A and B are shown apart, each in its own frame.
Chain A
Amino acid sequence: MMAAMICLGSLGCVAALLLAMAARRFAVTIDPRQVALMEVLAGANCGACGFPGCDAYARALVAGTAKPDLCRPGGAETLKRIAAILGVEVTERPPQIAVMYCQGGLQQARPKYDYQGLQDCRAAQKLARGPKLCPAGCLGLGSCVQKCPFGALSIDARGLAMVDRGRCTGCGLCVAICPRQVLALAPATESIHVLCNNRESAARVKSYCNVGCLGCRLCVRTAPESFVMDSFLAQVRYGRGQPAVMAEAMERCPHHCILNLDEQGNDQILPTPPSARERSTP
């Protein structure tokens, strides 16, 4: 009994000594700034910065090979703290949010054919340029939903992707994956959008969609400062909009494609936006 205890005890001591020596000898030196940066970064490993995960971005930041303003999910707060750690001056970029520019759901937009196959928008887009007659509308198969690391996207009852504006961090991954570019980043402060992505003429739009922008220019005539035409598609001039006149244009839009995503009580708005940090991993 005693012999066994002494044996094991001394063995343990020797092993501990060896481990302690090994820890000294083979210690990996990490820049303390990298550890600090890891604390600061959003921790979602979303890849929006272009690096495979937050760790890689932190390493690149310390090495000086990456710009400090690439962590979109972190926002202004993270940017400020990164700048403090690295001791550099940065200018804050206005926060952005993804907007889904389409209202043509299953009831509103006519299908081109019945699609049965891989539930992926990019795969569907390859078959005769997508199962909807509209060449620019949301296909609703949810490639963006799968890609979003923050759970900010979902497919709603209309069969359209829906951005949860509270959870969206503006990382832009959904924008990159959408084969029809129907998702785009817009300033987070803007709430009024023309929810259509179709640049075709009124005759064509009318033939397949009840809610698409016709290019009638009514909004531009009502509020020339706030709207601008791109081919047959009206767009809000972000940063220059005058809400009072825009409200009138919204009233006059024949297909009601100008929406105020806040006031309309649209289901794209959550009443109490939870912070993005809380849902760090999907």
Chain B
Amino acid sequence: MICRSFPGGTHPPGHKTATAHAPSLICPLPAELVIPLAQHVGAPALPCVTAGQQVARGQVVGRADGFVSVPVHASTSGLITAVEPRPHPCGAELPAVVLQPDGEDAWAEEYQKQSFHVLSVEAMLERIREAGVVGMGGAAFPTHVKLDPPQGKSIDTVIINAVECEPWLTADRRVLLEQMEKVFTGLEILKEVSGAGHAYIGLEDNQPDVAALLAPHCQKRDIGLAVLPTRYPQGAERQLIYAVTGRRVPARGLPMDVGVLVQNVGTIAALTDAVTRGRPLIERMVTISGPGVIRPQNLRVRIGTPVAHLLKQCGVTEEPAMVILGGPMMGVAQHTQAIPVVRGTSGVLAFRRQDVPITTAGPCVRCGRCVAACPMRLQPTFIADYARRDELDLAERFAARNCIECGSCSFICPANIPLVQSIRYAKGAILARRRRM
């Protein structure tokens, strides 16, 4: 199929070979799981267990608070030791359920595996919501909200996002290779629930083996296989939709405005488990990699496993100077290894001291590379400048709010100017000002 090309973008080195070809392993349970109650966009879950209570695997420990919210489940059976604020990947200390595994790993209840065809759309949506399925590419937006567009919006195309444009990460690739049946079943469910007629799988051309493997399956099931040129941020929702369908999502609009639904591969697999087996989302694929890791690999990790435990499993050459949750372009550097893996965690990257150069920002040399690299056609250097000078009106006029924070501009800047941070700051300030007015 013919694929279009989005403007801008960059080519960061891939570094994927270390983990791309080895099958994923199951991560052993840690001594303590920390399950945050806020693992999704929207209202945090409300705790419904107390310290000292025995819980089973998959039991609800936090119930959803409102429509844009999902419940949180115990990742294994064991004893709740505390419900208290713990370090969260966002940087703050947020309420979490602390669970001491008992080693039994006994399920609370097990649905019989059943075909989704017998279920109504409402029943499937209910199961997806009850299982706590959220977008696992990183944004962690509740999936049932995405699948249930408001009146007047309809979805005609479903795209599975297997692009994984972030360097180092191969978790989505492993899910696609190891759980292909689940992904195809999930796609059927998605089409059924959303009423979409067309389905595509988006992939980058740096994975020809996966593309070759998928091609006959896709042909058989009438699924379009879009092999896209490798360029960051090909996996961003707007860029993927444009490349596959040629439709442009309006600025600050949603994919459903152009009739498209995009879901990450990991989300699809979790969604299949939720609908056909009633299993909650308590485990996810995580890439543990980076130059500071001795045995880089993909692990199937229970939600709530501390990052320190993962790094111990894979071995670190020295005390890492920087640990990033997510990919190196959009992920967040963490100040402690006590933070747990949450539903949106796609990777854990450890870097040594020599891999983390200490940079100081220089003056802008007016080279225009950030402008050329911006996939949203913004002028990052101007917006960043206005952010520094608190000129919020000008920043807004230069469409700061359209920034998708992909990090292409900061990556390409020869003067090491923290462009994304400045634009993010401007976005936050603009929103805060709007709320005040």
Q: Are B359 and A126 in contact (CB-based, < 8 A)?
A: no
Q: Are B335 and A118 in contact (CB-based, < 8 A)?
A: no
Give the CA-CA distance A120 to B418 in the complex, in Å: 12
Does B28 make an interface contact (CB < 8 A)?
A: no
CB neighbours (8 Å) of B358 from chain A are 114, 116
Does A22 make an interface contact (CB < 8 A)?
A: no
CB neighbours (8 Å) of A126 from chain B are 424-425, 428
Q: Are A118 and B388 in contact (CB-based, < 8 A)?
A: yes
Give the CA-CA distance A253 to B333 in the complex, in Å: 38
Give the CA-CA distance A123 to B426 in the complex, in Å: 9
Give A134-160 as 1s and 0s: 1 = Cβ < 8 Å from B's Cβ atoms.
000000000000000000000000000
Q: Quick one: which of A110-142 are within 8 Å of B by CB?
A: 112-114, 116-118, 120, 122-123, 126-129
Chain A minimum-CB-distance residue to B417? A118
Given the interface contacts A113-B333, A116-B359, does A123 sit within 8 Å of B422 by beta carbon?
yes
Give the CA-CA distance A128 to B324 in the complex, in Å: 13
Q: Are B425 and A127 in contact (CB-based, < 8 A)?
A: no
Q: Are B425 and A123 in contact (CB-based, < 8 A)?
A: yes
Q: Are A128 and B335 in contact (CB-based, < 8 A)?
A: yes
Give the CA-CA distance A116 to B334 in the complex, in Å: 13
In the complex, which of the residues B92, B334, B360 contacts A129, with contact meaning CB atoms closer than 8 Å?
B92
Does B91 make an interface contact (CB < 8 A)?
A: yes
Chain A interface bracket (under 10, 10 to 19, 20 to 34, 35 or more) = 10 to 19
Given the interface contacts A113-B333, A116-B358, does A128 sit within 8 Å of B91 by beta carbon?
yes
Given the interface contacts A113-B333, A113-B335, does A120 sit within 8 Å of B91 by beta carbon?
no
CB neighbours (8 Å) of A112 from chain B are 335
Give A99-119 as 1s and 0s: 1 = Cβ < 8 Å from B's Cβ atoms.
000000000000011101110
Q: Are B388 and A120 in contact (CB-based, < 8 A)?
A: yes
Q: Are B91 and A129 in contact (CB-based, < 8 A)?
A: yes
Chain A minimum-CB-distance residue to B410? A117
CB neighbours (8 Å) of B428 from chain A are 126
Give the CA-CA distance A60 to B335 in the complex, in Å: 50
Does B17 make an interface contact (CB < 8 A)?
A: no
CB neighbours (8 Å) of A123 from chain B are 421-422, 425
Q: Are B425 and A122 in contact (CB-based, < 8 A)?
A: yes
Give the CA-CA distance A127 to B91 in the complex, in Å: 7
CB neighbours (8 Å) of B422 from chain A are 118, 123
Give the CA-CA distance A128 to B421 in the complex, in Å: 13
Q: Quick one: which of A241-260 are within 8 Å of B by CB?
A: none
Q: Are A118 and B91 in contact (CB-based, < 8 A)?
A: no
Give B390-407 as 1s and 0s: 1 = Cβ < 8 Å from A's Cβ atoms.
000000000000000000
Chain A minimum-CB-distance residue to B428? A126
Give the CA-CA distance A129 to B336 in the complex, in Å: 13
Most A Cβ at <10 Å: residue of B333, B334, B358 = B333
CB neighbours (8 Å) of A127 from chain B are 91
Most A Cβ at <10 Å: residue of B90, B334, B335, B428 = B335
Give the CA-CA distance A127 to B420 in the complex, in Å: 13
CB neighbours (8 Å) of A114 from chain B are 358
CB neighbours (8 Å) of B429 from chain A are 122
CB distance from B416 to the nearest CB of A (A): 9
CB distance from A144 to the nearest CB of B (A): 13
In the complex, which of the residues B90, B91, B418 contacts A117, with contact meaning CB atoms closer than 8 Å?
B418
CB neighbours (8 Å) of A129 from chain B are 91-92
CB neighbours (8 Å) of A113 from chain B are 333, 335
CB distance from A110 to the nearest CB of B (A): 12
Q: Are B425 and A118 in contact (CB-based, < 8 A)?
A: yes
Give B299-325 as 1s and 0s: 1 = Cβ < 8 Å from A's Cβ atoms.
000000000000000000000000000
CB neighbours (8 Å) of A122 from chain B are 425, 429
CB neighbours (8 Å) of A120 from chain B are 388, 425
Give the CA-CA distance A118 to B424 in the complex, in Å: 11
Give the CA-CA distance A121 to B31 in the complex, in Å: 38
Give the CA-CA distance A123 to B421 in the complex, in Å: 8
Chain B minimum-CB-distance residue to A131? B335
Chain A minimum-CB-distance residue to B339? A128
17 A-B contact pairs sorted by A residue (CB < 8 Å) = A112-B335, A113-B335, A114-B358, A116-B358, A116-B418, A117-B421, A118-B388, A118-B418, A118-B421, A120-B388, A122-B429, A123-B425, A126-B424, A126-B428, A127-B91, A128-B90, A128-B91
* With A118-B422, A120-B388 already in contact, 15 other A-B pairs whose C-beta atoms are closer than 8 Å: A113-B333, A116-B358, A116-B360, A117-B418, A117-B421, A118-B387, A118-B425, A120-B425, A122-B425, A123-B422, A123-B425, A127-B91, A128-B91, A128-B334, A128-B335
Closest 10 CB pairs of A and B: A128-B91, A113-B335, A117-B418, A123-B425, A117-B421, A112-B335, A118-B418, A118-B421, A118-B422, A128-B335
